[in-house]
Amino acid sequence: MSIKGVLFDLDGTLTRPGAIDFSMLKSELGCPAGSPVLEFIEAEPPDSRARLMRILEKREMTAAETSRPNLGAERCLSILMSRDIPFGIITRNGLSSVEQALLKFDVVTIRDFSAVITRDSSLPKPCPDGVYIAAGKMGLMPSELILVGDFRFDIIAGHAAGAVTALLTNKGESPLCPDDPEPDYIIDRLDEILDLPGFPCY
């Protein structure tokens, strides 16, 4: 594998896990525990959708305001910049919360990311469309990207697009289901990607 660019998830990947309490969020939305939030909202009647999205956006922004860079994230991004390796974000969040979360980083601003793919610019993961869009913005083929995330939708989307995938466990349990595709790599800490086979070391 020849990796030429990196695509990061946001919550629990670039930022530390736990900023959003999904159990509380789903309870507030009336979303069943086993249902993904965005898909639940999309299936609701049109007159309910706007209200539910406002709740979601408020919770995302609150989480972004209290978020912190994940362990190894700033080192990882700093080294990628020093090696001129393009990197981007692919998240199910809205753009405003991404902008807010990145204000907590010392080594990067949103302008350093070659692609920022949110639900405002693409169908959300696990749909692979955002991976294709990001690859185009980064001037790469999807197969030249590694998609790094902490949730099963990251692995599903990356695998479907033909990207290399890395599951970040944050030293916790795997979120994968039995029928999910296997990630190419499993890492405990974000900067471990720098030592993966096929990763540029110049």
pTM comes to 0.93
| Cα(174)–Cα(188) distance, integer angstroms | 11
Q: Could you write out the three-class secondary structure of 111-137?
A: HHCCEEECCCCCCCCCCCHHHHHHHHH
| Cα(52)–Cα(186) distance, integer angstroms | 34
pLDDT digits (tens, 9 = 90+) for 5-44: 999 999 999 999 988 888 889 999 999 988 999 999 999 9
- What single DSSP character describes residue 69? B
Residues 160, 20 contacting (CB under 8 angstroms):
no
**Hey, where are the domains in the chain?**
5-17+68-195, 22-66
pLDDT digits (tens, 9 = 90+) for 125-183: 999 999 999 999 999 999 999 999 999 999 999 999 999 999 999 999 899 999 999 99
Residues in the chain: 202
Q: Is 98 helix (H, G, I), strand (E, B) or coil?
A: helix
| Cα(112)–Cα(178) distance, integer angstroms | 37
Q: Is 35 helix (H, G, I), strand (E, B) or coil?
A: coil
pLDDT digits (tens, 9 = 90+) for 41-62: 999 999 899 999 999 999 999 9
Query: What is the crossing angle of helices 152-161 and 129-138, to 10°?
Result: 60
Residues 105, 23 contacting (CB under 8 angstroms):
no
Ramachandran class of 146: left when φ > 0, alpha when ψ lies in -120 to 50, beta otherwise: beta
Residue holding tokens 């670039």? 14
- What single DSSP character describes residue 17? T
Second-level CATH architecture of 5-17+68-195: 3-Layer(aba) Sandwich (3.40)
pLDDT of residue 201: 65
